[in-house]
């Protein structure tokens, strides 16, 4: 039995921010003087420095303690 085993967590968590689409004419889109400001944004989720999805507390999405223990077992017990 494994005791006091923690699930691996991201060391640094980044917020993924989404923005509402802005539609402009093709002519305006090609004009380098067009200035767009963004007034509507929303939180999409979280990820680590490598782009792996995680929760706000750094735990990885869809990874359970059982999954991690199994992965660690096979990683540590591979025959050379």
Overall pTM > 0.75: no
The 8 Å CB, 24+ separation contacts for 59-66 are 59/7, 59/9, 59/10, 60/7, 60/8, 60/9, 60/10, 63/7, 63/8, 64/7, 65/5, 65/6, 65/7
Which residues have C-beta within 8 Å of that of residue 10, sequence separation ≥ 6?
47, 48, 49, 52, 54, 58, 59, 60
Confidence bin at 37 (pLDDT 50/70/90)? confident
Q: pLDDT of 47-59, one tens digit each?
A: 999 999 999 999 9
């Amino acid at each position: 039995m494994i005791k006091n085993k923690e699930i691996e967590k991201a060391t640094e968590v980044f917020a993924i921010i989404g923005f509402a689409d802005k539609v402009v004419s093709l002519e305006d889109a090609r004009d380098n003087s067009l200035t767009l400001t963004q007034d509507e944004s929303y939180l999409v989720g979280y990820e680590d420095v490598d782009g792996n999805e995680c929760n706000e507390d750094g735990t990885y999405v869809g990874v359970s303690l059982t999954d991690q223990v199994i992965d660690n077992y096979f990683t540590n017990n591979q025959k050379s």
